Structure 1
Amino acid sequence: MENQNIGVTRSKRDLPPAHFSLKIQTYSLLPKTEVEKYDSGVFEAGGHKWRLSIHPNETEEGIGYISLYLAIAETDTYPEGWEVYADYKLFVLDHLQKKYLTVQDFDMKRFHKDKTEWGFAKLLTLEAFKNSSNGYLVDDCCEFGAEVFVYSRNKEWESLAMVKEPSDGTFRYEMENFSAKAQPSYYSKVFTVGERNWKLRVWPKGNAAQRDKAISIYLNLDDWKSLPPKRALYAKYKLRILDQVSGKHEQTTGSHWFSSSSSEWGYPIFNYDVG
């Protein structure tokens, strides 16, 4: 591998360009037309339309070059302020070695309204290109190519934030006339801890599996629908039944990853002493 200039790499490979190839026959007639450049037909890569632009006779300080550029095409329907980021490689076939000279920038390029093409002004000197021993121009035929890999911003992401001891971490649910409760279960009002909404669910006489055997208590993530798909929320908690006489509270500590498929967690048998 050799550097043509800073930020540009050159190498040769066996594989042909993945997205587009342009074969030119009787190449010597192209400069004679005195056109400044030749634009290829449109090809598609990464959800966008592109074309190659060949400048057959660029000159700098008396030295002639072939310039090759990648241009984004058909952007008339793009929204105001559009921009497309892409990595690209441009190619020239070495017919003798059956390999492709591959020229690539180190940096990803931003295509936008005021900059619709990027490439290499000094792809090859005309002397090197026309020297048949190099294999780029054989029997007056040559081949160029392109690969384009578009950077998409539609990536998935997630954020993990841990709150050690939220300041609003305590909630008290008072149930009056407890022994007369007739419904199977009761929800507390919604309360907020750690920027999430919760509620308690109490089964006074036990849930279905523990009917008339125990009190069942669960912690419920009330706003589980606001969780991103396939995401979970970890919570460590204490559930407690207060002893209003002696202060010997019945308490259980637990933890759980709450999610859309597991928004409620607790204990079907919280306390055997139901009175």
Structure 2
Amino acid sequence: MTSLNFDDQDGILRTISDAPPTHYTVKVQSISLLTKHNMEKYESGDFEAGGYKWKLVFYPNGNKSRNVKDHISLYLVMSRATAPQTSSEVSAVFRLFILDQNNSNYFVLQEPKERRFHGMKLDWGFDQFLPHKAFTQASNGFLIDDTCVLGAEVFVSKERSEGKGERLSMVKDPVMYKNTWRINNVSKLDAESYDSNTFIAGDHKWKMQLYPKGKDNGVGTHLAFYLVLAEPKSLPPGCHIYAKFTLQILDQLNARHYHGKGKDFA
């Protein structure tokens, strides 16, 4: 049997508990298949604790993005569905569990201080939750019949607002999206404006907007054509979206597009 480290010199509290996790338990079966199919991690479903939603993220072969070797990694992650805004944070104390299936008790890891979760830091946990050798050794009871049982307890201690703030997020390799709008009987259009069907690009809903008789200074002399957000009120207050786009009108006789200069949308 591989001995477990109960030395708290690294500041992590390690204990054995007969009581199961208060808030969530997840049974992970066929762990060997995760490795076989190159699935680096397993994310549990959401669970609620302290008025927020959370999930467990498990790396059976260690979190390679943090250069973890010879250990399993386990993290508590706050769900984005209930995550605080950038200028706010939630402080919580948590414990993460793994079941010793031989003795029906749990090996538990806990940091001695509360951790702060916010929009730019949604995960906390343990890169080196358990040595891989200890995890796989049957006499320890953590991995039996290719199955392990993990759990979590989360105790929210306080919420705090840090005042105003903002976050800029850029897409490194944006995907080009195209959408076509066919408008029939243009000569009979008598309303001030018309909207295309809604389409999705870059995780946001958009629509095209046409003013047949022009708009503002162009009324009566020009056709006005716009790209607009379909649901602008769904954005958080003060949020801006930057997008580079081009609006085109097809020359149907020569099968060419007539278009003006592309613009940045904010």
Which TM-score band applies after superposition, normalised by the shorter structure?
0.5 to 0.7
* Match of residue 80, structure 2, among 74, 77, 80: 74
> Are residue 53 (structure 1) and residue 57 (structure 2) matched?
yes
Identity %: 42
Distance 1:77 1:14, change over 3 A: closer
Amino acid of the residue matched to residue 65 of structure 1? H
Distance 1:75 1:19, change over 3 A: same
**C-alpha distance in 1, partners of 2:82/2:144?**
39
**C-alpha distance in 2, partners of 1:76/1:150?**
13
Structure 2 unmatched runs, 5+? 161-266
Q: Is the 8 A contact 1:7 1:107 kept in 2?
A: no
Q: CA deviation at 1:139?
A: 1.2
TM-score, normalised by the number of residues in structure 2? 0.54
**C-alpha distance in 2, partners of 1:25/1:33?**
14
**C-alpha distance in 1, partners of 2:42/2:126?**
15
Partner of 1:32: 36
TM-score, normalised by the number of residues in structure 1? 0.52
Q: CA deviation at 1:78?
A: 3.7
Q: CA deviation at 1:36?
A: 2.4
Partner of 1:115: 121
Partner of 2:98: 92
Q: Name the one with the larger strand percent.
A: 1
> Are residue 149 (structure 1) and residue 159 (structure 2) matched?
no
Q: CA deviation at 1:65?
A: 1.2
**C-alpha distance in 1, partners of 2:8/2:40?**
24
Secondary structure of residue in 1 paired with 2:139: helix
Q: CA deviation at 1:153?
A: 5.2
Secondary structure of residue in 2 paired with 1:83: strand
**C-alpha distance in 1, partners of 2:57/2:142?**
17
Partner of 2:20: 16
Structure 1 unmatched runs, 5+? 155-275
Which is greater in Rg?
Answer: 1
Secondary structure of residue in 1 paired with 2:108: strand
Partner of 1:6: 10
Partner of 2:183: none
Q: Is the 8 A contact 1:21 1:144 kept in 2?
A: yes
Aligned pairs for 1:125-136 within 5 A: 125-136=131-142
**C-alpha distance in 2, partners of 1:80/1:63?**
33
Distance 1:16 1:47, change over 3 A: same
Amino acid of the residue matched to residue 73 of structure 1? S
Aligned pairs for 1:160-199 within 5 A: none
Q: Alpha carbon RMSD of aligned pairs, Å?
A: 2.2
Distance 1:62 1:123, change over 3 A: closer
Q: Is the 8 A contact 1:85 1:150 kept in 2?
A: yes
Q: CA deviation at 1:3?
A: 2.6
Partner of 1:195: none
Once the two structures are superposed, what CA deviation does each residue of 1:82-123 show, in whole Å capped at 9, x if it has no partner? 201000000000011110001000110000111110000001
**C-alpha distance in 1, partners of 2:95/2:82?**
25
